[in-house]
Chain A
């Protein structure tokens, strides 16, 4: 059986649309479809679009065990993070101006918190342990009388480390502090039950679960009510929290994608985990390899590893039969090592020489055999060129 290369292994960055999602979206675009403005309920077209939005809201709510009225549509997880953090901070600033987050958050959270420092907010960044986990006790220790918000991600996008959100949420609830959780990576990969998880605000993206880009959700708890100051004004849509005409096709696409992905979750979790473990078994003997993804409490399709005897660009260019992501954010002139890996205590050269394999729905077991062979061939070849020994790089 031949394998078509490059093999896409960057599902944590984004996913292709499920064909059923495409079909559902196509039915909302032209004159024959449900194209109308869902707010235009004076005619049947608008009414039908409104019904479709309500159905999608129900699909999301069901998948995460929430109420449909707790679903706020946004343009994606970045906007959800912005609305949650800036909205909560600005609403509650008279009570205090202290926010707790972690050093391993996505830039959408870190940069939003950074912006709030210009408005006089004080941010505490919790450092992860060597495995990439934040501990609930760290949150408890960092709480102050003026803390108004805690923002900790559900699962890390680079390493896949699943944070102990249940225990953190119990602390914040007990202390009466709002908790925001960025769940962009975890949705559809691990079960989320907001009926039992006392999280106040949760961010989701559609395009990580085989839905379209440009649409996301912020879950805003009603009981107890999470209060936010809107960030986008103009029409008072969505209970005044986020104005703007609702994009029916995007919303329908996300609803279908989330419903299907969450339905497949138990089976897909096992399949991805087995392939990920097989991949690790096949490459773990390679020289100086460092596993950055934790062995337990890790998303099933994530494997983040470093090969520090090989420079990062050479590694990525060598692995040209795979579409993978490096552990570094590259711009044209400079390469920045991953802030996540550095905060875990990795040396900069380990962080530079990192690749993240993220497996998904269209990854097949046969692909994994090919991936193992390719990684072993390329790493062995480039390691043989390197003048560095494992002792040089892992000291």
Chain B
């Protein structure tokens, strides 16, 4: 019955790095919308390599688990490594079903937006 892999369910049930980083050296991104059914807020330290990332998410199990996985994965990665992450990497790592591809796309959009740091806090 369960669509999801054990790794996805573990991240969903015990999400890592939940919350929001504060301070001037924090890159911020918020993507998605309520009618769309997914909202992701991502914060990460601007240091290269990345020391810490945090998230908040409204969305499916796939969305929450992908955010948890991403923020854990980001620790210790260079900005370039983060830039090179693909939607398929997220899908493969979490063994997401094809119908949840949009969740992985939005998570990557949040990451790239935070890396661009072109999002102002609202």
Contact = CB atoms under 8 A, between A and B. Distances in A.
- Chain B: interface residue count, which band? 20 to 34
Contacts of A318: 12
Contacts of A310: 58
B58 A387 contact: yes
A224 to B, nearest CB: 49
B18 A387 contact: no
Interface in B1-22: 4, 12, 15, 18
A104 B100 CA distance: 31
**Which of B56, B57, B58 counts the most A-chain CB atoms under 10 A from its CB?**
B58
Contact of B61 (A309, A317, A384): A317
Contact of A348 (B35, B57, B58): B35
Given A310-B58, A317-B12, A384 B18 contact: yes
B63 interface: yes
Given A348-B35, A385-B64, A387-B39, A311 B59 contact: yes
Given A317-B12, A388-B58, A333 B99 contact: yes
Interface in B59-99: 59-61, 63-64, 99
A386 B56 contact: yes
A387 to B, nearest CB: 4
Main secondary structure of the interface of B (DSSP, over half): mixed
Contacts of A332: 99
Contacts of A352: 37
Interface residues of A, number: 19
Contacts of B40: 387
Given A313-B61, A332-B99, A333-B99, A388 B35 contact: no
A351 to B, nearest CB: 12
Interface string A380-393: 00001111100011
A314 interface: yes
Given A313-B60, A314-B60, A385 B35 contact: no
B34 A392 contact: yes
A71 B111 CA distance: 64
A23 B38 CA distance: 50
A56 to B, nearest CB: 36
B41 interface: yes
B52 interface: no
Given A332-B99, A386-B58, 5 more contacts: A333-B99, A348-B35, A352-B37, A386-B56, A393-B34
Interface of B: 4, 12, 15, 18, 30, 34-35, 37-41, 56-61, 63-64, 99
Interface of A: 309-311, 313-314, 317-318, 332-333, 348-349, 352, 384-388, 392-393
